[in-house]
Amino acid sequence: MMSSDLVGAAWRKSSHSANNHQCVEVALLPDGRVATRDSKDHGTGPALLFTAAAWTAFHRAAANGEFTPA
């Protein structure tokens, strides 16, 4: 889905993000899904949609370092 199709979504990014255009923006959707997009696309690129359960699992795995290269 294109992020521009998510009219009214409130996109946000971490306050810890540097201004180097390598950020992910997140929007909580009214139906409980979570949308993500690349901030350097300025709202014109694709968005990935997660169910609430999938987002929780992803977030937990990232916080636990499961995606950190060995």
Instruction: Look at residue 13 and tell me whether its pLDDT is greater than 70.
Output: yes
**Is residue 41 domain-resident?**
yes
**Is residue 55 domain-resident?**
yes
Q: What is the DSSP string of 10-70?
A: --B--TT--SSS--EEEEE-TTS-EEEEEGGGTT-SBEEEE-HHHHHHHHHHHHTTTTS--
Which amino acid type is present at position 64? N
Structural domain boundaries enclosing 30 = 3-12+21-63
What does the pLDDT look like over 18-39, one tens digit per residue?
A: 666 678 899 999 999 999 998 8
Structural domains in the chain (count): 1
